[in-house]
Amino acid sequence: MSPSPSTNATVESLLELSGVAKRFGGVVALNGVSFDLRPGEVHALVGENGAGKSTLIKILCGIIQRDAGTITLGGASYDPHTPGDAKMAGIQVVHQEFNLLPYLSVAENICFEDLPRRRFGIVDRPALYQRARKALDAIGLEDVDVRRPVASLGVAHRQLVEIARALMGESRILILDEPTATLTARETKRLFAIIAALKAKGVAIAFVSHHLNEVFAICDRVTVLRNGRSVMTSDISATTPDQLVSNMVGRQLAAAMAATREVDKSGRTALSLRNLRHPSSTNESGVSFDLHYGEMLGIAGLVGSGRTELLRSIFAADLPISGSLDRDGKKVSYQSPKDAIRDGIGFVTEDRKEEGLILEMPIAANVTLANLKAVSRHGLLRKRDETKLTQQLGNDIKLKYGHPQDNASTLSGGNQQKVVLAKWLANNPRILLLDEPTRGVDVGAKAEIYALLRVLADKGLALLVVSSELPELITLCDRMLVMSNHRITGELQRQDFSEERILNFAYKDERSHEYQ
């Protein structure tokens, strides 16, 4: 895309990136990112999960180092090696994951980088509380006691404390990574007011968000990242949400999204949940629905609405505390994932690195992990069978790999996810539970995974798909359930799918709980 005909092109850039690249093993995270940040502007960074936003932020704040490209800050080369370097240079970051110390007080957290002290290094408590009070008041958190431990605060308040901490220092550049993800509407409004005030002071703000309405509400310019590259930079006034989305997903995926599928409506019921309740669920009546063979059923909802927990309780990764589960019309009570697997269920987990893959073991070992019986006899492994099975499945799912004995960590994100799928396919499942099946996957692989899932559904498998990307669910699913606060707040048939309807259901309970 061509750079925008900017209205304030005369303003000198504070931070300038050009051709920044970073790779982790075989995975290319960034592959040529260029953009600039001007004093007093709010610059949105948008892109799908895995587009490289987080990696970019980590490079800017010195957590990791770039492999190639140049970054200049105020005209001088900027090359932070530690987060301390970044702070010294006046760059503050509010991370998506919390970096708070849960058992210390709010005040200690806010002032942690520079605790006020008296002689002999003793912490000056009155000064500490005073400073923290001021910082919280500045962002309108008058009602929070600074002596409370952070662990006792709700998620939204923690996020605000984090922001207050970042605002403590006199920063020239503030990077906000998904700051509104856990905020309610009222707190979001408050945050936007703070951002406006900072902007007026001449601070350059990089704003990472999935919510395009926020981007259009408060940002001056926007840069779109796709697949590790910056594909477009534009003034907000010169672009539209549609243009941003099509740049985010790219042509390849747009085609995959357009593909449709004949749905076999006659599918028998594969799984039937009745009041199934996960231990962490606040909803006493649990969750009830039916899943049919040949169907792709989507579950939408905000993060924390209990979608992952629902899948985990079906799979007995966590044992449900009440309710029942019927499999092919027969009541079942799985005591461990082993039981669920034996009953033809597979579970592609949300977190590939923590739960899905064994990164430092060979691809072949990962593929056969859930069905070692198929490649062994009397407890002895038959490596030739294992290699054969891996190659065969690898072929079926278009896995790009070097050798079955290479470690899974050598693969790109998309191919790693395919290995997770292969692991379950090796078991010939009848039901597949998929939690964020394309998280951190590049666009090409995403399209291939969509095609693969469609083939599986056509073959008669029952697929239950959880995803935070609405376009993904809208593209893939035949039917959709929307969850909020561990309950199902809505059900939509394919012809009724729209982002607006889904979000309305997703926020249903949020709204009533917002001001508690």
Partner 1 sequence: MSTNDVSQTGQTRIATTTKTVLREAGIGIALIVLIVVFSTTTQHFLTASNVTNILTQVTINLILSIGMTFVILIGGIDLSVGSVLAFCAVVAGTVMTLPGLDPITAVILATLSAVAGGILFGLLNGFISACWAIPSFIVTLGTLNIARGAALQVTNASTIYSFPAAFNAFGSQTLYGIPLLFLIALVLVVAGWFVLTKTVFGRVLYGIGNNEEAARLAGHNVFFYKIAAFTICGAAVGIGAIVYMARLNIASPIIGIGFELNAIAAVIIGGTSLSGGRGSIVGTLLGACIIGVLANGLILLGLSDFMRQMITGFVIIIAVILDKYRERLTKA
Give yes or no for a contact between 155 and 100, defined as CB atoms under 8 angstroms apart.
Answer: no
Q: Report, in Å, the least distance between residue 340 CB and partner 1.
A: 8
Which residue's CB is nearer to partner 1, number 28 or number 208?
Answer: 28
Q: Report, in Å, the least distance between residue 338 CB and partner 1.
A: 4
Which residue's CB is nearer to partner 1, number 189 or number 398?
Answer: 398
3-state secondary structure of 228: coil
Contacts of 420 (CB under 8 A, 6+ apart): 348, 349, 352, 356, 357, 366
What totals of helices (H) and strands (E) does the chain contain, helices first?
17, 22
Which residue's CB is nearer to partner 1, number 133 or number 312?
Answer: 312
Which residue's CB is nearer to partner 1, number 69 or number 344?
Answer: 344
Residues in the chain, how many? 516
Contacts of 47 (CB under 8 A, 6+ apart): 53, 224, 225, 226, 248
- Strands of the sheet containing 345-348, edge to edge, are 345-348, 431-435, 462-466, 296-301, 479-484, 487-493
Which residue's CB is nearer to partner 1, number 352 or number 479?
Answer: 352
3-state secondary structure of 144: coil
Question: What's the chain's Rg over C-alpha atoms?
Answer: 25
Q: Report, in Å, the least distance between residue 406 CB and partner 1.
A: 5
Q: Report, in Å, the least distance between residue 260 CB and partner 1.
A: 26
Q: Report, in Å, the least distance between residue 412 CB and partner 1.
A: 6
Q: Report, in Å, the least distance between residue 295 CB and partner 1.
A: 23
Distance in angstroms (rounded) separating the CA atoms of residues 505 and 308: 18
Q: Report, in Å, the least distance between residue 42 CB and partner 1.
A: 32
* Cα–Cα distance list, 233 to 39, 74, 247, 341 (Å): 17, 20, 10, 47
Q: Report, in Å, the least distance between residue 95 CB and partner 1.
A: 23
Q: Report, in Å, the least distance between residue 27 CB and partner 1.
A: 9
Which residue's CB is nearer to partner 1, number 40 or number 444?
Answer: 444
Token pair belonging to 472: 């993904």
Distance in angstroms (rounded) separating the CA atoms of residues 231 and 219: 18
Which residue's CB is nearer to partner 1, number 175 or number 408?
Answer: 408
Q: Report, in Å, the least distance between residue 93 CB and partner 1.
A: 25
The span from the first CA to the last CA of the chain, in angstroms, equals: 46
Q: Identify the CA nearest to 136 among candidates 103, 167, 112.
A: 167
DSSP code at position 371:
-
Distance in angstroms (rounded) separating the CA atoms of residues 266 and 362: 41
Give yes or no for a contact between 168 and 130, defined as CB atoms under 8 angstroms apart.
Answer: no
Q: Report, in Å, the least distance between residue 345 CB and partner 1.
A: 10
Q: Identify the CA nearest to 316 among candidates 337, 289, 286.
A: 337
Q: Report, in Å, the least distance between residue 379 CB and partner 1.
A: 5
**How big is the CA angle at 392 (ends 391 and 393), to the nearest 5 degrees?**
95
Contacts of 138 (CB under 8 A, 6+ apart): 164, 167, 194
Which residue's CB is nearer to partner 1, number 236 or number 420?
Answer: 420
Give yes or no for a contact between 277 and 320, defined as CB atoms under 8 angstroms apart.
Answer: yes
Which residue's CB is nearer to partner 1, number 210 or number 312?
Answer: 312
Which residue's CB is nearer to partner 1, number 281 or number 368?
Answer: 368
Distance in angstroms (rounded) separating the CA atoms of residues 441 and 27: 10
Which residue's CB is nearer to partner 1, number 171 or number 313?
Answer: 313
Contact positions toward partner 1, by CB under 8 A?
25-26, 28, 31, 227, 315, 317, 336-338, 340-342, 347, 349, 354-361, 365, 369-370, 372-373, 376, 379-381, 400-403, 405-407, 409-412, 415, 423, 442, 444
Which residue's CB is nearer to partner 1, number 424 or number 507?
Answer: 424
Q: Report, in Å, the least distance between residue 31 CB and partner 1.
A: 8
Q: Give the dihedral sign, CA 283/287/288/289.
A: positive
Which residue's CB is nearer to partner 1, number 207 or number 347?
Answer: 347
Distance in angstroms (rounded) separating the CA atoms of residues 81 and 140: 34
